Amino acid sequence: MSAITFKTIGIGVTFSPNLEANINEAARLALCFGSKLVLIHVGESSEKKSNTFRTFLSPFENQGLEYELFYKSGDPVDVILTSTKEKKIDLLIIGALKKENFLKYYLGSIARKITREASCSVLLLINPSIDRVPCKHIVVNGLKDPKTKETVNAAFLVGHKLGVGKITVVEEIDQEEVSVKVDDDKSLRKSTIIKERLRLREEARVKKVLDSIPADYTKNITIKSQPIFGKRGYSIGHYAQVARADLLVMNAPSKMTFWDRLFPHDIEHILTELPTDVLIVQ
Amino acid sequence: MRAKEPSFVGFMKTIPKNIFSGLVVSLIALPLSLGLAMASDAPPIAGVITSIVGGIVVAIFGGSYVTISGPGKGLVGVVLVAVSTLGLTTTYAAIICSGVLLLILGFLRLGKLADYFPSSAIQGVLAAIGLIILGKQFHIMLGNKIVRDNTIDYLIAIPETIMNVFQYEDSGLINAAIAGFISLIIMVFYSKIRNKYLQLIPAPMWIVICSIGFSYYCEFVLKIPNPISEKYMIPNIPSLTEVMGNLPVPNFKAIYSLEFWGSVVALTLIASIESLLSIKAVDKLDPMKRRSNVNKDVKALGVATAVSGLLGGLNVVTVIAPSSVNITNGGSNRLGNLFHALFLMIFILLFSTELTRIPLSALMAILVFTGYKLAAPEMVKRVFLIGKEQLLIFLTTLLVTLKIGLISGIVAGLIITFIIHVIANNSLGLFIKNIVKPNVLMYKEENGNYFISVKHFCSFLNFNKLKDKLSVIPEQNDVIIDFSLCEFVDHSVMENINDYQELFYKKGGNIGVIGLEVLATKSEHPFALRRLLPLQNIIPNNKTKRQNNLEQVAHDFGLSFTPLRRTKNAFLENFIYFKTKKIEHVFNRLSAKKHPYQLFDIIYSEGEFIAKEVIRSTMLYIKTSANVPVFKLDREGLLERLYALAGYRDIDIKNHVDFSKRFYLRGENERDIRAFFTDELVLFFESNAYYHIESSKDGLLVFSKERIASIKEIKALLDFGYRLNAIINKS
């Protein structure tokens, strides 16, 4: 089993109204996972800036947080991507923006670029808060994909560390897989049978994945497996929203081409309308 | 609830019933086919050819069960334009092309084309077609053949024509106008008269029979020539051999012109819209609640249209009025359609010369009525009740269709609907950003319910996504549709969901819609709550005299009286009587909590479109224990003996010759029924007044006439029910 761990957590910081909340969230997570926190700031280093960061971090420092401040000027996307590699960051935290007056979140263009190109796992936070908001329900994808095993593992790791009560593994069944088109009662019966078969097959597969999770990770966690019918990669976000999940854990996208961005699919949809906090596991 | 697997024996058993329904359908189809063809400026026989080809081809290749195919009313407008701009032979070519196009659409599974049009716009187009038919034929009906440029001019000329009637010099014209007027009266009042012998023959056929009878009466009794002007008689109808001998040669010369393809597209579009709407309506009436295979049907209609065009016929579509007649008369599979075609063929073989005795004005009265039904003021009122903006969509589509043409009308309807949606939301981005997103999520909850969540917006633009999900759910299931993540839901969607709700409800499932409240409170959403809820009686205190009397009766019988309407009446759906009828609502209910009795006035309808009859009646429902077998008891008359010939069996009870002779008893399980009809019960029926009595699994339905009962009759009915129930409980 490839043990996924988050040894170093990175976060890009700017002086925005969300600064304190972002730092608090990141520091809390770092404490939870027992990892080192790296604050990346795009710009010149100055005593004043460092002081501000330190004041925010001091309560966590008392609890044993190890951290590092990292300054570098240049193009934000480049800076963050290169420093991730330099500092061997394996979880990058990015804060999302909130649309005015709407309960909708989206990623800024910089954040989006970073997400697409980052070589490490990325956590997108839609609603960073200064005080801790408990995470109760995690939704994780159970796609038929080599990466899925690791992703589910990560979900359980996070769930275990954060004391999550429930984890739902969602298998997305594409309509195309149900090869029968429903026209009348007969084809409807046929398609219902095929769907049931698909559902059983998917469930068996997910069960196999779940079996490989270390037992102490699954302790005290209700595990649910839910097949959904919808567009792959998109509907899971929709489901997370409907199921009021606090965190959505997903596979990192496979290689993106220009066309993928023009005709958004999979993760691109999620990026345009973040349903919840999203963890993309690399 | 599975449909029975078709077996050969079972299939053979359906033949007599379908022959019978096919015969009745052919009676309504014949005058309609002739009239629609003439209204489209095509030779009258073209309509009959359409029906014959359609009936045979669609019966063989189609995917629906009880539909009837033939020339469509909606196509009159299109064919009319095509004939006048392209000429008849080129129109045949266009019809053949549109058949091929339909076939392609069927293969591409685009049979559901009509789903992409907002429903108010479709209503507008249909109303415009109604006005086109009405406007032109009204003048012919009154013996005043005029030629105008467009429909609006025809409509404006209507008062003038009416005035003209009183100034005719020529008695031939006056008589033509009289024939037209009488025919219109027959069409209007036919559905109001409930007489089973009269109702056996559809109104249009009565017109045909009366006019042919009148013509013979003049010829042989009065020995005068037919007093109706020659010009207003149906022109010569060729016999079948002549038709086959002189097949028109479709003219494909215009195939490279824009006009030609404009016609082809219009024909295809209207044919598919009309067929789909009809199939949807007919599926709702099907007593066996089967689901039609729309794409297969569209393919069959395409083939039929191409063949029909080759033989000199028009576009074949699914026709609503004859289909509903087919269901009412016991048609149970595609044989009904086939036999209707065969009977039409026989009619043309035997009576083609007889048909020329029908006055044109009488035939056009049928079409005037059809046109009126399409554009009736009730339609406008209904649209208005849904919302002012719907009326705007409706009227825009209507006017553009009349002024410019069908395709422009539909496009205008689409555009205005979209503009209204954008204005209502004050956001264009909502639609542009989200239109391609797969906004519908469906999953099965642990308890077996289906949950569907819709995001962003749901309107005619993307309803197909929701529909795709809904149509793959077996109708016996419970479904929840959640719109709480949706910012906008339009009227077309609400209406379609309502259709689905009815369908699920009929098959034992249920669709719950949640999350609309959020929309309404967040903003004053103009469409979100635009649901056609039946208006409850607003002032319950304002009772009529009959209602006051009913209250008194209720008091006397220890029941309580509620005048309010109720639309959901699941207990009635189980009765065979209501299998082919649509219950609107029950009202003026007399009931009590612990009593098994429920007496109510009920409004229900039979048939669709011009064959639609709205019936009001008073019925008594008695809840019984479950061991009463399913049966149906009626007075035995001529008609019942006729039904017996068509394969409905009468169960005779031994040793009760009088009962067996006077009553017509039917049911599946003969043994149980015989056991149930004890001597005492038989004696009770013999010695009391006749009622129509029917049992479902756990209830009895008793009523006497298909009309609202008087207070005296209600008392008798209640008394009869009380005594009947006492005897049943004893045994």
Asked if B482's CB is within 8 angstroms of A184's CB, the reply is no
Distance from the B87 Cα atom to the nearest Cα atom in chain A, whole angstroms? 38
- Identify any residues that bridge with B441 across adjacent strands, giving them in sequence order: B453
Last residue of a domain, one of B386, B420, B452: B386
Percent of chain B topping pLDDT 90: 12
Cα–Cα distance measured from residue B22 to residue B335, given in angstroms and rounded to the nearest whole number: 8
Nearest Cα residue to A101 out of B42, B52, B487, B292: B487
Do residues B443 and A226 lie in contact, with contact meaning Cβ atoms separated by under 8 Å?
yes
Per-residue pLDDT tens digits for B587-612: 888 888 888 888 998 888 887 777 77
Cα–Cα distance measured from residue B503 to residue B475, given in angstroms and rounded to the nearest whole number: 7
Q: CB pairs below 8 Å between A and B: how many?
A: 68
Residues B74 and B195 reside in one and the same domain: yes
Q: Which residues of A touch B (CB under 8 A)?
A: 175, 178, 181-185, 187-189, 191-192, 195, 199, 226-231, 234-235, 238-239, 241-242, 263, 269
CB atoms within 10 A of CB B241: 9
According to the model, what pLDDT value does residue B380 have?
85
Please give the angle made by the CA atoms of B172, B177 and B182, to the nearest 5 degrees.
125
According to the model, what pLDDT value does residue B544 have?
73
Asked if A182's CB is within 8 angstroms of B471's CB, the reply is yes
Domains of chain A plus CATH, in order, are 1-133 (3.40.50.620), 134-244 (3.40.50.620)
Cα–Cα distance measured from residue B204 to residue B188, given in angstroms and rounded to the nearest whole number: 11
Is B182 inside a domain boundary?
Answer: yes
Residues B498 and B566 reside in one and the same domain: no
Length of chain B measured in residues: 731
Which of A184, A188, A193, A267 is the best mutation test for B, with the most CBs of B within 10 A? A184
Residues B451 and B561 reside in one and the same domain: no
Per-residue pLDDT tens digits for B203-234: 888 888 888 888 889 888 888 877 777 778 87
According to the model, what pLDDT value does residue B1 have?
37
Q: Distance of CA B162 to CAs B38, B143, B159, B176, B181, Å?
A: 22, 10, 5, 13, 11
| ipTM reported for the complex, 2 dp | 0.81
Q: Which residue of B has its CA nearest to A242?
A: B453
According to the model, what pLDDT value does residue A231 have?
72
Chain A residues touching residue B290 (CB < 8 angstroms): 184-185
Flag whether residue B60 sits within 8 Å of chain A, measured between CB atoms. Answer: no
pLDDT < 50: residue spans in chain A: 1-2, 100-102, 264
Residues B638 and B576 reside in one and the same domain: yes
Nearest Cα residue to B141 out of B160, B127, B161: B161
Distance from the A279 Cα atom to the nearest Cα atom in chain B, whole angstroms? 21
Per-residue pLDDT tens digits for B31-46: 889 989 988 888 888 9
Q: How many domains does chain B have?
A: 3
- Judged by DSSP in three states, B591 sits in strand
Last residue of a domain, one of B350, B366, B386: B386
Give B588's contacts (C-beta < 8 A, 6+ positions apart): B546, B547, B550, B561, B562, B563, B600, B601
Q: Please tell me which of the candidates A188, A229, A231 has its beta carbon nearest to residue B443.
A: A229
Cα–Cα distance measured from residue A14 to residue B148, given in angstroms and rounded to the nearest whole number: 76
Give B219's contacts (C-beta < 8 A, 6+ positions apart): B225, B226
> In chain A, what are the helix, strand and coil shares in percent, each to the nearest 5?
45, 25, 35
Is B184 inside a domain boundary?
Answer: yes
Residue with tokens 């819709």: B454
Is B397 inside a domain boundary?
Answer: no
Flag whether residue B67 sits within 8 Å of chain A, measured between CB atoms. Answer: no
Residues B600 and B683 reside in one and the same domain: yes
Asked if B291's CB is within 8 angstroms of A184's CB, the reply is yes
> What is the greatest pairwise CA distance in chain A?
75
Residues B502 and B549 reside in one and the same domain: no
- For residue A188, give the DSSP letter: H
Chain A residues touching residue B485 (CB < 8 angstroms): 238, 241-242
Would you list the DSSP string of B154-215? HHHTHHHHHHHHTT---HHHHHHHHHHHHHHHHHHHHTT---HHHHHS-HHHHHHHHHHHHH
Cα–Cα distance measured from residue B357 to residue B31, given in angstroms and rounded to the nearest whole number: 13
Is B395 inside a domain boundary?
Answer: no
Is B419 inside a domain boundary?
Answer: no
Tokens of B139: 């003048």
Which of B439, B441, B468 is the best mutation test for A, with the most CBs of A within 10 A? B441
Do residues A233 and A266 lie in contact, with contact meaning Cβ atoms separated by under 8 Å?
yes
According to the model, what pLDDT value does residue B171 have?
81
User: How confident is the model over B404-421, as a mean pLDDT?
Assistant: 87
Burial class (CB in 10 A: 0-12, 13-18, 19+), B359: buried
Q: Please tell me which of the candidates A181, A191, A242 has its beta carbon nearest to residue B441.
A: A242
Distance from the B517 Cα atom to the nearest Cα atom in chain A, whole angstroms? 17
Q: Please tell me which of the candidates B3, B63, B440 has its beta carbon nearest to residue A230.
A: B440
Nearest Cα residue to B26 out of B263, B492, B350: B350
According to the model, what pLDDT value does residue B94 have?
93
User: How confident is the model over B526-545, as a mean pLDDT?
Assistant: 44
Q: How would residue B100 be classed by pLDDT, with cut points 50, 70 and 90? A: very high
Asked if B485's CB is within 8 angstroms of A184's CB, the reply is no
Flag whether residue B585 sits within 8 Å of chain A, measured between CB atoms. Answer: no
Asked if A182's CB is within 8 angstroms of B472's CB, the reply is yes
Choice between B387 and B138, residue whose per-residue pLDDT is larger: B138
Q: Please tell me which of the candidates B293, B442, B471 has its beta carbon nearest to residue A230.
A: B442
What is the Cα A163 distance to its own chain's centre? Answer: 17
Cα–Cα distance measured from residue B19 to residue B27, given in angstroms and rounded to the nearest whole number: 13
Nearest Cα residue to B451 out of A136, A229, A182, A194: A229
User: How confident is the model over B456-483, as a mean pLDDT?
Assistant: 85
Please give the torsion angle defined by the CA atoms of residues B11, B17, B18 and B24, in that order, rounded to the nearest 10 degrees. Answer: 180
Do residues B683 and B653 lie in contact, with contact meaning Cβ atoms separated by under 8 Å?
no
Nearest Cα residue to B333 out of B54, B49, B22: B22
Q: Is the dihedral of CA A244, A249, A255, A256 positive or negative?
A: positive
- Judged by DSSP in three states, B465 sits in helix
Last residue of a domain, one of B522, B537, B554: B522
Give B626's contacts (C-beta < 8 A, 6+ positions apart): B697, B698
* Strands of B247-337, DSSP E: 316-319
Least confident of A108-117, A182-191, B81-90, B278-287: A108-117
According to the model, what pLDDT value does residue B537 have?
37
Cα–Cα distance measured from residue B362 to residue B383, given in angstroms and rounded to the nearest whole number: 32
According to the model, what pLDDT value does residue B51 have?
94
Chain B residues touching residue A226 (CB < 8 angstroms): 443
Pairing of strands A91-95, A8-13: parallel
Cα–Cα distance measured from residue B415 to residue B461, given in angstroms and rounded to the nearest whole number: 11
Pairing of strands A8-13, A36-42: parallel
Q: Is the dihedral of CA B268, B269, B272, B275 positive or negative?
A: negative
Burial class (CB in 10 A: 0-12, 13-18, 19+), A257: exposed
Chain A residues touching residue B451 (CB < 8 angstroms): 242
Q: Please tell me which of the candidates A191, A195, A235 has its beta carbon nearest to residue B441.
A: A235
Q: Which residue of B has its CA nearest to A185?
A: B291
Tokens of B510: 């249920």
Is B473 inside a domain boundary?
Answer: yes
Asked if A269's CB is within 8 angstroms of B437's CB, the reply is yes
Q: Please tell me which of the candidates B291, B443, B474 has its beta carbon nearest to residue A192.
A: B474
Residues B623 and B479 reside in one and the same domain: no
Chain B residues touching residue A202 (CB < 8 angstroms): none
Q: Is the dihedral of CA A205, A207, A169, A112 positive or negative?
A: negative
Nearest Cα residue to B13 out of B330, B383, B465, B420: B330
Q: Which residue of B has its CA nearest to A234?
A: B438
Cα–Cα distance measured from residue A1 to residue B484, given in angstroms and rounded to the nearest whole number: 42
Distance from the A54 Cα atom to the nearest Cα atom in chain B, whole angstroms? 41
Phi and psi at residue B595, to the nearest 5°: -80, 150
Mean pLDDT of chain B: 82
User: How confident is the model over B528-536, as a mean pLDDT?
Assistant: 34
Q: Distance of CA B610 to CAs B184, B519, B606, B725, Å?
A: 12, 39, 11, 40
Residues B507 and B552 reside in one and the same domain: no
Cα–Cα distance measured from residue B510 to residue A239, given in angstroms and rounded to the nearest whole number: 22
Pairing of strands A67-72, A36-42: parallel
Asked if B293's CB is within 8 angstroms of A183's CB, the reply is yes
Cα–Cα distance measured from residue B347 to residue B259, given in angstroms and rounded to the nearest whole number: 37
Cα–Cα distance measured from residue A162 to residue A113, given in angstroms and rounded to the nearest whole number: 28
Is B610 inside a domain boundary?
Answer: yes
Residues B467 and B328 reside in one and the same domain: no
Tokens of B281: 């309506």
The residue type of B157 is A
Residues B499 and B564 reside in one and the same domain: no
- Identify any residues that bridge with A92 across adjacent strands, giving them in sequence order: A10, A122
Chain A residues touching residue B436 (CB < 8 angstroms): 263
Please give the angle made by the CA atoms of A77, A81 and A83, to the nearest 5 degrees.
120
Cα–Cα distance measured from residue B375 to residue B384, given in angstroms and rounded to the nearest whole number: 14
Would you list the DSSP string of B368-383? HHHHHHHT-HHHHHHH
Cα–Cα distance measured from residue A223 to residue B556, given in angstroms and rounded to the nearest whole number: 62
User: How confident is the model over B152-180, as a mean pLDDT?
Assistant: 85
Distance from the B435 Cα atom to the nearest Cα atom in chain A, whole angstroms? 12
Helix (H) / strand (E) element for B520: namely helix B516-522
Q: Is the pLDDT of residue B532 over 50?
A: no
Residues B556 and B514 reside in one and the same domain: no
Per-residue pLDDT tens digits for B293-310: 888 899 999 999 999 999
Residues B78 and B222 reside in one and the same domain: yes
* Residues of the domain holding B490: 432-522
